[in-house]
Every structure is written in structure tokens, then in C-alpha cells.
Structure 1
Amino acid sequence: MGVQRRQWSDLPDEARAAVEAYTGPVLKAVPTGGGLNSGLASVLHDADGAVFVKGLPADHAQAWTQGREAAIAPHVADVAPRMLWHVRAGDWDLIGYEHIDGRHADYTPGSPDMSRVAEALALLGKTPCPDVPVKTVHRWQDYVDRPEDLNRLDGVALLHTDLNPTNILVPGDGRALLVDWAWPTRAAAWIDPACWVVWLVAAGHTPAEAERQAAAIPSWSQADAVALDMFARVQARLWAEIADDTPGRWAEGVAEAAAQWEKHRT
């Protein structure tokens, strides 16, 4: 289901008042280009600074992702912008985050962002999954050949799994921060680097080059060749399905990249 993007001024008075109880009067609202799954994604400027706000109508089919992001936020403060508040009012579900002045990651070959993203994923790979509602390896059950294949994906690490470069924020201090935590998953720590491989191929790396970048992340070495071969098939099947269901060239490009990685592995 698509998400209709709204402006700050479109929100009901009750919702805006609930936000301003935290921020003070909003002096300016600047929509952002990210947050593609959000009904509202704006930087709100008040007298003391700025805050990034994302939200969805409370009756939207994806509104549950807001609660999941809010539950995960305290556990990923080392690799993500800090959550400031979470409020439901005026039939809207809204989360406020510290505003980070940065840009989306550049995944093209030779980009200095490669090491920054690898460092962020290495740090996340050390984070045990908290006892909050997250996805599990069963999210991939429709794409494996045998149910027992899921055992190779099992683990206790907290994963991001949606490593689209628009979900990586690079501020000026040399870090990379992971945003948009709608799909956190409890599974083997090597899966995030493996998900990253597909996006790197889509950005112009060969599969072998993308795997070398992923190998800079310690958890990558935890996967044996059989597990990587199997997960490459999973990603190819998953992205082929997404491309079939999603209008637009971007999904086709990622599906082509996943197919290239599968071919490389096999």
C-alpha cells in the first residue's frame, strides 16, 4: 500500500499541538526527500533548533511500523539518531528524532562512505537483539527451498536489513547512521552485510567487489559458503517479487543486482 505524503500544515490541529508540546511553536517546516514509507517526513524548526519528525495516519496499514521503530530506538542509539519522543494524537502516530545535518550515503565504487557504513554495521553486529517485537528468520520462509534452510539464518543479533543508501545518513563528523528502522530483525549478524552486498552491486560494484567490502565487517566471516549461496538465492527471489509488485525502475535495478549476486555465488 502506498503512502500519501502530507505537509506539516496538513496535520490536524490536535496532532500539531501534541508535537508542539515537545518542541514549542513550530516556526518553519521543511519536508525531506527521504522517509519514503512515511506520511509525514519533515524537519521542524523551533526557537531552540530543529527536530526531524516522521509519521503515519494511525489507521494506515503500516502504522504498526511506528511502534516498532519507537521500541527499537533506545537500543540503537550508537548507530542511529536519538529518538526524542513518540506521540499519538489527532489520528496520527508521530516520532521526533534529533535532527542530524547530513546526506545520504554514496555506495558507488571508490566512495569514502564504504568504510563508514562498514563501521556502523560492525558496531550494530555486536548489539544483541532486545526483547521487543521484531521480525525473525521466518520473514524469509517463502524464499527458501526447504524449511530447515532457515536454521542457517537464525541468530540473536539485531539487524536493520533495509540498507538502501537513503537509509544511511552521513553527517560531517565521519560517521554513518542507520535510519528508518521499520524492518528490524533477530537473526544471524552476517545477514546485514549480505543485504548490503545487493545494494552495492546495484550501485555499480561487481559481486566480487561488493563481497570484499562486506568482508570488512567482522560478522561476515561467520557465514559459510553454503549459507551465503542460499541467502543470495533468497535475495534474488525476494527482490524479483518486489520488482513485480513495485512500479518504477529502482526496484528493477535492485532485483537485477540480486540476480547478479546469485549468479556469482552459483
Structure 2
Amino acid sequence: MTRATNRRIHWADLPDRVRAAVEEILGDRVVEALSQSGGFSPGTADRVRTAGGRRAFVKAVSPAQNDRSPGLHRTEALIAAALPPTAPAPRLLGSYDDGDWVALVFTDVAGRHPVTPWAAGELNAVLSTLEAMAAALTPASVAVAPTAAAQLAPDFAGWRRIAADPPADLDPWARARLPELCAAADRGLAALAGETLCHLDIRADNLLIGPDGRVSVVDWPWACRGPAWLDRLMILVNVQVYGGHDPEALLRDLPLAAGVDPADLTGVLAGFTGFFLDGARLPPPPGIPTVRAFQRAQGDALLRWLTRRLP
């Protein structure tokens, strides 16, 4: 499972005005707040309970924790407010933004993250949910969502940045194929056309499995318009990282691959591989000390998969 940042703030650390705004949204006083693990945001991630017993999930952040995080919260507020009721996601109850602090208040979802390495039953439930979600979110009804190509263009240029300045520890297989990997990532970017609203950050710690087995998808700031198969490909990336199944066999057998050129899927995988390996070279962003190690682990795992698809 993804290791969380060790610098997350908590409900009690929020300014009085932010807590008061959350309580106004909930219509009651918060008497309990339990910080949640997982993810990388240095802001709050608390399941709260009010005096009257109402439960909700609250996330709040300011530039003091990380300068980019408030913008992500603002984007998520717009996305979450526009999600249709058919989306398997928590409902946004309200938000607060004073230009410094941004807080989002969601319905509470009882559940836990999937077990990793991935168990067959949970993986099947997630894949079924993502297939139904793609159908429910096509065509995308969220006007603020960018295209997947626009969202990922800077990221998919990672191999070009690596080629311009190869790190000393670059895998020899990759070093010998840098032009091919750059071209594959370009092809992957061109394959991302579509009108499905995609979450784009599907991984175990952005999923909750409820007591009834239902799967909820959380954390939507990266949502974009792309192909219906993209989120299911992303969960196979997570399977490659954490194990439990052969993602190549899953990709071969799943309906998501039907009608999609295998070279396009390889290109998307190449694009993400370059993004993770290139990003892992950078200094950690403020307040998020563990993200570079996470990116390196994902990049290394995806590179192993690419060696099977680009022998």
C-alpha cells in the first residue's frame, strides 16, 4: 500500500475560521475527528462526527503545507460538484475557500482500501466498478475537466527529458531504447482521445471497499476527458506495482483491450513510465517527502512491464 506523507496536519491544526466553516456546512459541532492514512497530501484527511451523530470526511490545506495543494482542492471541488449521482464517489456536501485555506466536506464512506498484493475478489469488484463508472460518465458532463492529452502532455514528455540528461542509474535496457520510448510515449498521448470522464489517479489508496462490497472512488482533482479504458489500465498499473496478478494476462483477457491497438496501450504505459522515472529524480515537493520514492517504485515496476511489451 502507498506510504502516506509523514507531515499531514489534523483537524485540531486548522484555524478556527476553517473549522467553523466546516461545522456550518454540517450544521452541527464536530466532536470527533480521526485522521486517515494513505495518500500524499500534507493537508487534513479526517473522518469527523458531529454532536448529533452525523459523519463526514473533511480535507483542508493551505499553501503553508504545499503551494500546489490548494489549487488541487479547488479543482476537485469543481469536479466533485459536477459528478452525476451515478458516479461511485462520495458526494460533496460543501466547500470553503478564503483564498488561503481550502476545505472540502464530503459524505462519509464506510470502508477500507483494497488489500495489496491484490486479492482476486477485490480486483474483480474494482474492475467491474470502473467499467460501470466509465459507462455512467460517458459522455463527460463535467465542463471544467481538461482532455487527457492536455493533462498528460507535460508528463508524457518524461522520456525526452531523460534522453536529454540520462541519469547514471538508468536501466541499460531503457538507455538503449530511448528514441523508441520517446516515440512510444508520443503515440500513447495521441491515443488518449475520448469523451469519458476519467479519474486518472486510480490506485489502491484512492479506492474504498465498503462492508457490502461496493467500491467507492475518491480524490478526483486529476479528472479529465479521455478513453473509456483509461482508468482500468491505471488499476492494472497498480497491480503491476503491488502484485497479486499478472497485469499482462489481465490486459489480454479484459474487455478494455478489445478494439484498442496494443501499440496504443503500450504507448500509454511508456508515457507513464517516463513520467514516474523522470519525476523521481526531482527534489521532494514541500510537505510531501515520500512522493519521489513512490514515483521511483512505480517507474521501476512499469519498466519491467514495458520490457515484456517492447522486447
So what's the TM-score if we normalise by structure 1? 0.88
The DSSP-based 3-state class of the residue aligned with 1:117 is helix
Residue of 121, 130, 133 corresponding to 1:121: 130
Cα distance, 1:90 vs structure 2: 8.2
- C-alpha distance in structure 2 between counterparts of 1:192 and 1:153, whole Å: 11
Q: Tell me if 1:131 matches 2:143.
A: yes
Q: Tell me if 1:234 matches 2:271.
A: yes
- C-alpha distance in structure 2 between counterparts of 1:254 and 1:93, whole Å: 29
Cα distance, 1:263 vs structure 2: 0.9
Count of residues paired in the alignment? 263
The answer on whether the counterparts of 2:266 and 2:306 sit within 8 Å (CA) in structure 1 is yes
Q: Tell me if 1:178 matches 2:178.
A: no
Query: What does 1:39-58 align with in structure 2 at a 5 Å threshold?
Result: 39-46=43-50, 47-57=52-62
Gapped regions of structure 1 (runs ≥ 5): none
Higher strand share: 1
Q: Tell me if 1:69 matches 2:102.
A: no
Paired position in structure 1 for 2:164: none
- C-alpha distance in structure 2 between counterparts of 1:241 and 1:103, whole Å: 31
Cα distance, 1:151 vs structure 2: 2.5
The answer on whether the counterparts of 2:192 and 2:226 sit within 8 Å (CA) in structure 1 is yes
Paired position in structure 1 for 2:91: 82
Alpha-carbon displacement from aligned partner over 1:157-190 (angstroms, at most 9, x marks no partner): 1111212211111111111111111211211122
- C-alpha distance in structure 1 between counterparts of 2:305 and 2:187, whole Å: 23
Q: Which ranges of 4 or more aligned residues in structure 1 deviate by more than 4 Å?
A: 146-149, 214-217, 246-249
Residue of 294, 298, 304 corresponding to 1:254: 298
Gapped regions of structure 2 (runs ≥ 5): 159-181
The DSSP-based 3-state class of the residue aligned with 2:20 is helix
Cα distance, 1:111 vs structure 2: 3.4
- C-alpha distance in structure 2 between counterparts of 1:149 and 1:51, whole Å: 39
Paired position in structure 2 for 1:190: 229
Q: Structure 1 residues 28, 61: CA separation in 2 closer, same or farther (over 3 Å shift)?
A: same
Q: Tell me if 1:93 matches 2:102.
A: yes
- C-alpha distance in structure 2 between counterparts of 1:19 and 1:109, whole Å: 36
Paired position in structure 2 for 1:201: 240
Q: Structure 1 residues 88, 52: CA separation in 2 closer, same or farther (over 3 Å shift)?
A: same
Identity of aligned residues (%): 26
The answer on whether the counterparts of 1:68 and 1:134 sit within 8 Å (CA) in structure 2 is no
The DSSP-based 3-state class of the residue aligned with 2:95 is strand
Alpha-carbon displacement from aligned partner over 1:58-82 (angstroms, at most 9, x marks no partner): 6732211112212222315421111
So what's the TM-score if we normalise by structure 2? 0.76
Q: Structure 1 residues 96, 3: CA separation in 2 closer, same or farther (over 3 Å shift)?
A: farther
Cα distance, 1:133 vs structure 2: 3.4
Q: AA paired with 2:92?
A: M
The more displaced of 37-46 and 130-139 is: 130-139
- C-alpha distance in structure 2 between counterparts of 1:218 and 1:79, whole Å: 20
